[in-house]
Chains A and B, each alone.
Chain A
């Protein structure tokens, strides 16, 4: 009987101890859970702000602080609204920030101060711009198939080197005549070949600028979605990495194209739809 009593007492003590341990564990788990939840919440709420910080880093320094304060203020507005729906609020804020991150490069181009403002001032005062008859001859020869794009790129290289070497020469855009001739005279295939040759000669910025100028809206009547298809095909064939980098740039460059043409290009960029062979000729 005594043994049974002791056994019951022992069992009770063990049960009480277990209950205490369980209660303590539950309290610890609840506290840790709540703390984790708070931490996760705080971190997630900072995510859109961090994305906006990244987007602002893609802007030119002169416009960065102004744009960032504008976007931060908008973000605060979004986070302050929808107080009863934290998930919706976070989704909206993240979507807002991601949209800005994707387009910050193009916004930066719009915000960027003009690279050489004195050039337009000089032309308005009647100062003649840099003339390069050889560039026009070379472009004409390239169009006729008499010279290779590599030779034109070598000429561009020489112009850039001359520009860097001359005292005060940076005030003149020595590639402007070549760019103007190429924009007026070359087809999509020829201009892509020239851009690739310029990239081979390490003239990356100049090549991109030529491509940008070629796709510009003032010459929209001369450009077709098929041209972008040709550019895509040639760049993908020669260096697929370059096309991956160039696709968003092309998308921004054609922003002022007509809606039909833009949609055709978007379809092509999204689904890889290729034009019929006649368009690529």
Chain B
């Protein structure tokens, strides 16, 4: 899971019942539109997010309806657990002596 993906999931988990549309998530997280919609597409495909069409309003007939995303309630617990994992890994991971380019496959400089 990427850092950006984790940011998006945390946003949805903060208010699990609240559906959000793409631009709203973009403003809340500061992630660019291209990357955000890629993440939303992946999370929807993994069924971690549920994607619905916004109910049409009589005042806005003729205009396109936005897509609303919300967290899949059946996956929420698993996502929380998954979000907690990388934090533990980061704490346990030893800091490498040299950063930068490493020999492919060996993990040594």
Total A residues in contact with B, Cβ cutoff 8 Å? 43
Known pairs A99-B33, A230-B104, A279-B103; A73 contacts B2 (CB<8 A): no
Q: Are A99 and B35 in contact, with the CB atoms below 8 A?
A: yes
Quote the shortest CB–CB distance from A104 to chain B (angstroms): 8
Quote the shortest CB–CB distance from A216 to chain B (angstroms): 14
Q: How far is the CA of A207 from the CA of B35 in the complex (A)?
A: 26
Q: How far is the CA of A69 from the CA of B37 in the complex (A)?
A: 14
Q: How far is the CA of A225 from the CA of B107 in the complex (A)?
A: 10
Does B22 sit within 8 A of A, measured CB to CB? yes
Does A19 sit within 8 A of B, measured CB to CB? no
Contacts of A224 in B (CB 8 A): 101-105, 107
Tell me which of B11-19, B38-46, B71-79 binds A: B38-46
Known pairs A76-B63, A76-B64, A103-B35; A225 contacts B101 (CB<8 A): yes
Quote the shortest CB–CB distance from B86 to chain A (angstroms): 9
Among A72, A99, A227, A275, the residue within 8 A (CB) of B34 is A99
Quote the shortest CB–CB distance from B43 to chain A (angstroms): 10
Contact with A along B79-109 (1 / 0, CB 8 A): 0000000000000000000011111110101
Known pairs A100-B37, A110-B41, A110-B42; A74 contacts B104 (CB<8 A): no
Does A206 sit within 8 A of B, measured CB to CB? no
Q: Are B38 and A110 in contact, with the CB atoms below 8 A?
A: yes
Does A241 sit within 8 A of B, measured CB to CB? no
Known pairs A70-B22, A110-B45, A259-B2; A187 contacts B104 (CB<8 A): yes
Quote the shortest CB–CB distance from B36 to chain A (angstroms): 8
Taking CB as reference atom, which chain A residue is nearest B65?
A73
Does A124 sit within 8 A of B, measured CB to CB? no
Does A31 sit within 8 A of B, measured CB to CB? no
Does B30 sit within 8 A of A, measured CB to CB? no
Contacts of A96 in B (CB 8 A): 23, 26, 33
Q: Are A73 and B101 in contact, with the CB atoms below 8 A?
A: no
Q: How far is the CA of A26 from the CA of B2 in the complex (A)?
A: 60
Other than the known A72-B64, A73-B65, A107-B38, what 6 A-B pairs have Cβ atoms closer than 8 Å? A74-B22, A76-B63, A103-B35, A224-B104, A227-B104, A264-B101
10 A-B pairs with the lowest CB-CB distances in the bound complex, closest first: A103-B34, A275-B101, A99-B33, A73-B64, A99-B34, A279-B101, A110-B41, A73-B66, A70-B67, A69-B64
28 pairs, CB–CB < 8 Å, chain A vs chain B = A69-B64, A69-B65, A71-B37, A73-B64, A73-B65, A73-B66, A77-B66, A95-B32, A99-B34, A103-B34, A104-B34, A107-B34, A107-B37, A107-B38, A110-B42, A187-B104, A188-B104, A224-B103, A224-B105, A224-B107, A227-B104, A229-B101, A256-B2, A259-B3, A264-B100, A278-B109, A279-B102, A279-B104
